[in-house]
Amino acid sequence: MARMSADLTEDDIPVSQLEASSRRMNMIEAINDALDIMLSHDPSVIVMGEDVGYFGGVFRATAGLQAKYGKTRVFDTPISECGIIGAAVGMGAYGLRPVPEIQFADYIYPGIDQLISEAARLRYRSAGEFIAPLTVRSPFGGGIFGGQTHSQSPEAIFTHVAGLKTVIPATPRDAKGLLIAAIEDNDPVIFFEPKRIYNGPFSGYYDKPVEPWKNHPDSEVPEGYYRIPLGKARVARSGDAMTILTYGTMVHVAQAVCQAKGVDAEILDLRTLVPLDVEAVENSVQKTGKCLVVHEATRTSGFGAELAALVQERCFYHLEAPVERVTGFDTPYPHSLEWAYFPGPVRIGDAIDKLLEA
């Protein structure tokens, strides 16, 4: 397998070199660039899924790849999520590194049995003789008025499964580096892409337009190969007043709220939920003494509950107030009330005020 330098990460590249060889991309372009690099340098990498070939994907994340690498490396599949993931597990067991795309995260449920019973278990069932190095890409979350079957955030389901890794980028720079790391990983990875920020970060103030990535500092994406190790969080905003634990779209919403309110909060972009950067969480909360968890998914049994439990277990004697959560509501995804469903500036702002008062 013609892999690139396995030890080369973004942190190893001098800042001057990164800046000299980077260009501005939105998240779709960064994902396409990562796939292009891995297809070019590793003949075992293949891209598969519904409409990913000739059409280039619903959101154009695979545009141009079939024309460049051919129909045996980038190809369309039948409309069968169970079949897509099942085939990818078999391909991985026989030495390939498949990158199947599930068109929307809402469609992933028919393939859950293959992910949980086969992909996540294969290394253990075979005592290490076989692995399932597949990276399941899927747009997830709301923001495009897609309704109940195009807007769900099911990340907590996969974080519960031992043997799966779950990755959610918040910037184009992270999306490229994390996707390359996921493809190179020998374990199955669920790579959720927040489609609400495909073309630019959104503050959550729904009366304001999307800010294009071309005007955002995190759109400076290094050219060529680099990877961001899985399990390493990013401090999106430094501060001392409290810690906000979040990921994906909500990183930008939290940043906008803190800026608007003038709150000196530290925002920790988790980037990977499993493996989780427990040390970064612990260090931040112990420094600030207060913790707010924000995610778009429903509240009950959401990943925020795991974060709250972890903070309570590891940081109890540093906490000055109970951990607060701001999440989506426990209801089927509402099409017409999408913006009310999101954790927005009002609800996040209220939680921040409550922690500050405490």
Enumerate the active-site residues.
Answer: 150
Which amino acid would we find at residue 281? V
Nearest to 6 by CA among 172, 225, 190, 221: 225
Tokens of 60: 């154009």
Tokens of 87: 């085939």
Q: Across 195-264, where does the E strand assignment appear?
A: 220-222, 234-237, 242-246
C-beta of residue 106 within 8 angstroms of C-beta of residue 157: no
Q: Can you state the angle between helices 278-288 and 303-315, rounded to 10 degrees?
A: 60
How many other C-beta atoms can be found within 10 angstroms of the C-beta atom of residue 297?
22
Residue 248 — φ and ψ, nearest 5°? 60, -140
- Ranges of H-type helices in the chain: 15-20, 27-41, 65-69, 81-93, 112-113, 122-125, 155-159, 172-184, 249-261, 278-288, 303-315, 338-341, 345-357
To the nearest 5 percent, what fractions of the chain are helix, strand and coil?
A: 40, 20, 40
